[in-house]
């Protein structure tokens, strides 16, 4: 017999206790004192059970986690009889002896047998109810089909009712997964094939996934956080291996209730259970990075164009150019096309598949009177423009304290309007990013994150108006800006070399490079954009010049003499484009091409380009 602090019996040997503990897990220590995990409370992470050899070979057991000795004895498979004697504590510590245990251990309340996939019994789990109303379990393995011995005996626990599960899978029948053998037996009694993990919630293993490969799975979780988490764990593990997976939350199930409670409340049966399961959609995992086959990509929803071929819903665009080039007028002309459903640039259809009129929010810190004049002229004198909301301030996109400026802007918008806009125009980026260092990738990432927050919340497109750097032919600031854009439109001012134009500088699904010429024509209180067609169709003696003409001329005027590589670096373009553009300007008589000095390593001398007027001035001196 075994005792636990307070009773001393010698009918069971210390050696037998150690043997049974070793069948359950590691036992440490030597000689008269050993330590092991307590089998009663399934201690795995610490060895809370101490076993000490007593006189005549008996054993003193103490669970430092506080388990009662009767429970520990029951788990180890010993009987507790009335011939035990209380263990006497040291009286100098004034501790009273525990009362003598007199009642025998109760019989198990349930025995659950586990078979392998061939139907052979290999182990069983015994359930006991403890004195305090809790439940405890003990594993036994079969010796000869009749006798059982405590412990697993080297076997690995399998899914409950494994042979029935495999048979149901072969027949294409549904397998119901529950939490615990009791619930599995409940469903079996109603004619279902049901199983559970041998270790309870949170113990799903790879061998369990393999056992359910190809199955149609329905999971009934217990109605508590542990049960729901366990169901999700099972679904995630078997999703790619099972034929189908459902997680069914039973309606009206009380907190901490299970499928047995639901079936046995007197109002539900197998028909109701099947009906509930049938009404639930297949479980699909929530993934942040979803892969697609090419066929799936073809079947994805098509882009919803706001401006066909250029800007779709949810995309980000930038209209850039030097100060005074007409960026704002180009943006207002685009807004007019969106509101009136007229082609933009006389070429690009507006909202071709849309079923409703579009709304635009325009946010700027320009003067209110000048802004009103510009829109009135663009809209042919109309002062009522349904679908247009103008804000005379811009949201602050650079907020290191939590993007509160963006949140305030969106909150204020929804306080005034019933629907969110299809397009938000912010004029200008620098006004909306006060405090940000434009050349800092870190700061510009903060700004772009704020913009994308608006896009995601409103499912809208956003256009940012931004300035070019001086003589660079490119937008100011970090490369993060261009990399974030789906569309970049470059506006050039009027010059001797070319008229005003808009170049498609970057296009998400196209090569870009198309140039559209325009004029600013006085109309009413302001000026408006009038398109003159593609630049290559303009009747200009210099129509073959590069789309980078203005930028190159400015750069050559500043540096006096340049090589092709200087232009490529200065404008951020390829050497090939730089060379071709310089040759075009040479052909039409704007630049003079001369051969430079040979390089020190004996290589070919570079070509040097300069403005012809500058050369003539030098010669005349």
Same domain, yes or no: 496 and 351: yes
Judge whether 107 lies within some domain.
no
How much of the chain exceeds pLDDT 70, in percent? 85
Judge whether 146 lies within some domain.
no
Same domain, yes or no: 524 and 418: yes
Mean per-residue pLDDT for 130-158? Answer: 83
Question: What is the Cα–Cα distance from 546 to 109, expressed in whole angstroms?
Answer: 90
3-class SS at 3?
strand
Same domain, yes or no: 330 and 393: yes
**Amino acid 568: pLDDT:** 86
* 340-389: pLDDT as tens digits: 999 999 999 999 887 678 999 999 987 778 889 999 999 988 888 889 99
**Amino acid 276: pLDDT:** 95
**Amino acid 603: pLDDT:** 60
SS (H, E, C) 409-469: HHHHHHHHCCCCCCEEEEECHHHHCCCCCCCCHHHHHHHHHHHHHHHHHHCCEEEEEEEEC
Question: What is the Cα–Cα distance from 449 to 405, expressed in whole angstroms?
Answer: 13
Beta carbons within 10 angstroms of residue 22's beta carbon = 13
Judge whether 132 lies within some domain.
no
CA-based end-to-end distance of the chain: 122
Same domain, yes or no: 265 and 312: no
Mark which of 93, 120, 145 sits at the end of a domain: 93
**Amino acid 537: pLDDT:** 38
Q: Which residue has the higher pLDDT, 523 or 495?
A: 523
Confirm if 178 and 194 have CB atoms less than 8 A apart: yes
Q: Which stretch of DSSP H or E encloses residue 610?
A: strand 607-611
Judge whether 287 lies within some domain.
no
Question: What is the Cα–Cα distance from 344 to 534, expressed in whole angstroms?
Answer: 13
Mark which of 93, 110, 141 sits at the end of a domain: 93
Whether the model clears a pTM of 0.75, i.e. scores above it, the answer is no
Confidence of residue 601 (pLDDT cuts 50, 70, 90): low
Checking if the pLDDT of 238 tops 90, the result is yes
- Out of 56-65, 339-348, 384-393, 537-546, least confident range: 537-546
Question: What is the Cα–Cα distance from 250 to 267, expressed in whole angstroms?
Answer: 13
Confidence of residue 5 (pLDDT cuts 50, 70, 90): very low
Judge whether 42 lies within some domain.
yes
Same domain, yes or no: 403 and 316: yes
Checking if the pLDDT of 458 tops 70, the result is yes
- Taking CA atoms, 121 is separated from 39, 280, 352, 401, in Å, by 23, 35, 69, 64
**Amino acid 439: pLDDT:** 93
3-state helix, strand, coil in the chain (%, to 5): 30, 25, 45
Question: What is the Cα–Cα distance from 576 to 468, expressed in whole angstroms?
Answer: 23
Judge whether 229 lies within some domain.
yes
Checking if the pLDDT of 85 tops 70, the result is no
- Out of 60-74, 133-147, 153-167, 509-523, least confident range: 60-74
How much of the chain exceeds pLDDT 90, in percent? 49
Same domain, yes or no: 510 and 608: no
Checking if the pLDDT of 132 tops 50, the result is yes
Same domain, yes or no: 432 and 459: yes
Checking if the pLDDT of 465 tops 70, the result is yes
Question: What is the Cα–Cα distance from 346 to 379, expressed in whole angstroms?
Answer: 16
Same domain, yes or no: 80 and 204: no
Maximum CA extent, the chain: 130
> From its phi and psi, is residue 129 left (phi > 0), alpha (psi between -120 and 50) or beta?
beta
Mean per-residue pLDDT for 149-171? Answer: 92
**Amino acid 158: pLDDT:** 94
**Amino acid 542: pLDDT:** 41
* 8-25: pLDDT as tens digits: 434 457 888 888 888 777
Confidence of residue 404 (pLDDT cuts 50, 70, 90): confident
Nearest to 451 by CA among 479, 436, 432: 432
CATH of the domain at 185: 3.40.1360.10
Report residue 118 as tokens. 């061939």
Residues in Cβ contact with 327 at an 8 Å cutoff, skipping those fewer than 6 apart: 319, 320, 321, 427, 465, 491
Same domain, yes or no: 336 and 273: no
Mean per-residue pLDDT for 114-140? Answer: 86
* 263-307: pLDDT as tens digits: 988 889 999 999 999 999 999 998 888 888 999 888 888 889 999
Which of 130-144, 389-403, 455-469, 487-501 is most confident?
455-469
Nearest to 413 by CA among 427, 442, 393: 393
Same domain, yes or no: 340 and 425: yes
Judge whether 349 lies within some domain.
yes
Q: Which residue has the higher pLDDT, 490 or 578?
A: 490
Summary mean pLDDT of the chain: 83
Range of the domain at 242: 158-279
Mean per-residue pLDDT for 128-140? Answer: 82
Same domain, yes or no: 81 and 186: no
Residue 310 burial (10 A CB sphere; 0-12, 13-18, 19+): buried
- For residue 93, what is the DSSP state? G
Judge whether 316 lies within some domain.
yes
Confidence of residue 46 (pLDDT cuts 50, 70, 90): low
Residue whose tokens read 């002896």: 97
**Amino acid 79: pLDDT:** 60
Same domain, yes or no: 463 and 376: yes
Which of 135-144, 147-156, 203-212, 541-550 is most confident?
203-212
Q: Please report the DSSP string for 302-348 in residue order.
A: PP-EEETTTEETT-EEEEEE-TTS-HHHHHHHHHHHHHHTPPBTTTB
Confirm if 375 and 529 have CB atoms less than 8 A apart: no
Question: What is the Cα–Cα distance from 548 to 561, expressed in whole angstroms?
Answer: 17
In the chain, the number of structural domains is 4
Mean per-residue pLDDT for 547-571? Answer: 87
CATH of the domain at 571: 1.10.10.10
SS (H, E, C) 504-573: EEEECCECCCCEEEEEEEEECCEEEEEEEEEHHHCCCCCCCCCCCHHHHHHHHHHHCCECHHHHHHHHCC
Question: What is the Cα–Cα distance from 399 to 403, expressed in whole angstroms?
Answer: 5
């Amino acid at each position: 017999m075994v005792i636990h602090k307070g009773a001393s019996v010698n009918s069971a040997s210390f050696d037998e206790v150690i043997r049974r503990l070793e069948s359950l897990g590691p036992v440490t220590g030597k000689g008269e004192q050993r330590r092991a995990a307590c089998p009663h409370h399934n201690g795995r992470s610490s060895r809370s059970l101490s076993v000490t050899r007593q006189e005549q070979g008996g054993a003193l057991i103490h669970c430092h986690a506080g388990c009662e000795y009767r429970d520990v004895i029951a788990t180890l498979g010993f009987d507790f009889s009335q011939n035990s004697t209380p263990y006497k504590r040291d009286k100098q510590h004034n501790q009273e002896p525990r009362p003598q245990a007199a009642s025998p251990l109760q019989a198990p309340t349930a025995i659950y047998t586990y078979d392998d996939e061939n139907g052979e019994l290999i182990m069983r789990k015994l359930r006991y109810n403890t004195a305090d109303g809790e439940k405890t379990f003990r594993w036994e393995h079969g010796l000869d089909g009749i006798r059982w011995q405590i412990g697993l005996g080297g076997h690995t626990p399998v899914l409950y009712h494994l042979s029935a599960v495999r048979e149901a899978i072969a027949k294409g029948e549904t397998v119901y997964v529950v939490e615990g053998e009791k619930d599995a037996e409940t469903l079996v009694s109603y004619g279902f094939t049901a199983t559970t993990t041998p270790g309870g919630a949170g113990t799903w293993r790879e061998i369990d996934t393999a056992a359910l490969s190809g199955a149609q799975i329905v999971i009934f979780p217990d109605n508590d956080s542990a049960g729901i988490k366990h169901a999700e764990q099972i679904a995630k593990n078997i999703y790619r291996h099972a034929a189908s997976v459902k997680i069914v939350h039973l309606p009206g199930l009380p907190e901490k209730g299970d499928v047995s409670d639901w079936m046995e409340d007197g109002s539900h049966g197998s028909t109701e259970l099947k009906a509930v399961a049938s009404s639930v959609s297949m479980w699909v995992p929530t993934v942040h990075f979803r892969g697609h086959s090419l066929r799936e990509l073809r079947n994805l929803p098509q882009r919803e164009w706001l401006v066909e071929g250029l800007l779709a819903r949810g995309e980000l665009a930038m209209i850039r150019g030097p100060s005074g080039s007409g960026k704002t007028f180009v943006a207002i002309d685009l807004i007019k096309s969106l509101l009136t459903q007229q082609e933009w640039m006389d070429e690009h259809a507006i909202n071709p598949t849309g079923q409703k009129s579009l709304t635009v929010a325009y946010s700027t810190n320009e003067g209110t009177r000048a802004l009103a004049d510009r829109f009135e002229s663009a809209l042919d004198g109309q002062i009522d423009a349904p679908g247009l909301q103008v804000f005379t301030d811009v949201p602050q996109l650079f907020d290191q304290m939590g993007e509160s400026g963006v949140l305030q802007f969106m909150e204020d918008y929804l306080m005034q309007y019933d629907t969110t806009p299809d397009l938000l125009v912010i004029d200008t980026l620098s006004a909306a990013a006060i405090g940000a260092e434009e050349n800092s990738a870190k700061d510009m990432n903060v700004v772009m994150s704020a913009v994308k927050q608006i896009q995601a919340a409103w499912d809208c497109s956003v256009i940012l108006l931004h300035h070019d750097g001086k003589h660079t032919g490119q937008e100011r600031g970090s490369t993060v800006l261009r990399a974030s854009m789906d569309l970049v439109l470059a506006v050039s001012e009027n010059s001797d070399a070319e008229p005003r134009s808009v170049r498609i500088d970057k296009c998400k699904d196209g090569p870009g490079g198309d140039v559209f010429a325009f004029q600013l024509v006085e109309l009413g209180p302001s000026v408006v954009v009038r398109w003159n067609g593609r630049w290559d169709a303009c009747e200009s003696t210099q129509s073959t010049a590069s789309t980078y003409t203005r930028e190159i001329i400015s750069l050559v005027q500043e540096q006096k003499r340049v090589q092709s590589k200087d232009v490529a670096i200065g404008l951020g373009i390829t050497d090939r484009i730089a060379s071709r553009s310089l040759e075009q300007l040479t052909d039409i008589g704007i630049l003079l091409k001369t051969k430079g000095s040979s390089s020190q390593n004996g290589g070919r001398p570079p070509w040097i380009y300069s403005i012809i007027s500058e050369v003539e001035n030098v010669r005349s001196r």
